[in-house]
Homo-oligomer: A and B are copies of this chain.
Amino acid sequence: MKDLIYANKPEEARSFLEKVKNSKVTSLIVIASTMVSKIKGISIAGENPELTLYTPAADVEYLMLGKCLSINAIPKTPDGIPTPAIISRVCIKLTDIPCLIINAGSYIKPKIPYIEMNGRYGEDIRYEDALEISVAKRLYENAKIFIRSIINISDTFIIGESIPGGTTTSLAFLVALGYDAWDKISSASKHNPKSLKASVVKQALDRIKFNTSNSNNALEIASYVGDPFIIVTSSIVEELIDANKKVILAGGTQMASIVAFLKKNNRNIKNVLIATTRWIIEDNSSDIISLINEIHPVPIIASNLSFMESKYEGLKKYEDGYVKEGVGAGGFSCYAFLRGFSFETIEKEVEKEYERIFV
């Protein structure tokens, strides 16, 4: 039976997970759009750039219902590789974990119930600020109001995301904060479009004539070159760690932005763990471990799923480095493992779900 992958700070990770095991756990999925995802070649989280704007809504509709309402099939790459939400859905069903959808600023609003943060999608950071500072502040405050109002429902919160183009805005945010993130941020594509991402980020940083000394405020920087996901998630995590809750950031290199936001705001970063997938850990085009350790060395674990032996091309492609992570897939599968479901069981259930949808 395959074990979890302990990718960073294994001893801390083990003691963290021991505490999570018997605690009450709730999950949150933060969805948002950034107009950066419409730039040709930036994101494959959708069949074409325009459809990436529908992906966050469609992801959570599928997660809740097993089908989408805002588009007529489940989100996939231009090559037809399905959203990682199929892994998340399987694990949510296995574990019966409560799941709340948070709309930080999706271009398309889901046709299922969700928590409205009264925000807005992020603009194309090449040409304008992602969000007006007033909207960024509202999102930051509303995220706190919301999480405070329900903070006692759980001891541990797993937070996943769906924001096509989000790795690029994360890169911009991290570079603006002074981190050497250029070669460390992953992509849903097998062929990480690094030079395209770098040119978008450089254009954004040029636009705001940014140097790392001219702002000490994480929220401002996120409003210039970030996205609504970074703001809402960081704000929620700030409240959670202040209340001594445990936080599992269920995502890939984007989650570095959350850790960086907390650090910039001088938070005592504790009880935070990143749970991702093996596909992220093993990605040659990015480096989550060195990125996180450059910011603050939080423990990182990864689920040990493999679709190498899958009957289905759409799943096998994950082994080629497509998709990799998203909608909390890594975190949910680590949690299912923790609750006693082997990765082998999860793989079988994902195959069945794939069959149900496509075959």
Contact = CB atoms under 8 A, between A and B. Distances in A.
A80 interface: no
Interface in A100-116: 100-101, 103, 109, 111-116
Contacts of A65: 145
23 contacts: A26-B150, A64-B149, A65-B145, A98-B149, A98-B150, A98-B151, A98-B152, A99-B150, A100-B150, A101-B149, A103-B116, A109-B116, A112-B118, A112-B142, A113-B115, A113-B142, A113-B143, A113-B146, A113-B149, A114-B115, A115-B115, A116-B116, A153-B153
Nearest to A99: B149
B112 A145 contact: yes
A81 interface: no
Contacts of A109: 116
A112 B150 CA distance: 14
B26 A145 contact: no
Contacts of A103: 116
A297 to B, nearest CB: 32
A104 to B, nearest CB: 10
Given A64-B145, A65-B145, A145-B65, A152 B115 contact: no
Interface of A: 24, 26, 64-65, 96-101, 103, 109, 111-118, 142-143, 145-146, 149-154
Given A111-B118, A113-B149, 5 more contacts: A101-B149, A109-B116, A113-B143, A115-B115, A115-B116
**A65, A117, A153: residue with the most chain B Cβ atoms closer than 10 Å:** A153
